[in-house]
A and B are shown apart, each in its own frame.
Chain A
Amino acid sequence: GQQVMQIPQYQHVQEGEDFTTYCNSSTTLSNIQWYKQRPGGHPVFLIQLVKSGEVKKQKRLTFQFGEAKKNSSLHITATQTTDVGTYFCSHSGNTGKLIFGQGTTLQVKP
Chain B
Amino acid sequence: SAVISQKPSRDICQRGTSLTIQCQVDSQVTMMFWYRQQPGQSLTLIATANQGSEATYESGFVIDKFPISRPNLTFSTLTVSNMSPEDSSIYLCSVEEETVQYFGAGTRLSVL
Give the size range of A's interface with the partner. 10 to 19
Interface string of A37-57 (1 = CB under 8 A from B): 000011111001000000000
Contact call B92/A98, Cβ cutoff below 8 A: no
Given the interface contacts A42-B92, A48-B99, A92-B99, does A103 sit within 8 Å of B104 by beta carbon?
A: no
Interface residues of B in 72-102 (CB under 8 A from A): 90, 92, 96, 99-102
**Number of chain B residues close to chain A: CB under 8 A:** 18
Contact call A44/B103, Cβ cutoff below 8 A: yes
Contact call A100/B100, Cβ cutoff below 8 A: no
Q: Specify which of B33, B45, B48, B105 is in contact with A42 (CB 8 Å cutoff).
A: B105
9 more CB-based (< 8 A) A-B contacts, given A43-B43, A45-B102, A102-B42: A33-B100, A41-B106, A42-B105, A43-B101, A45-B100, A45-B101, A48-B99, A98-B45, A102-B41
Interchain residue pairs with CB less than 8 A apart (24):
A31-B99, A33-B100, A33-B101, A42-B92, A42-B103, A42-B105, A42-B106, A43-B43, A43-B92, A43-B101, A44-B103, A45-B1, A45-B100, A45-B101, A45-B102, A48-B100, A88-B42, A97-B33, A97-B45, A98-B33, A98-B96, A98-B101, A100-B43, A102-B42
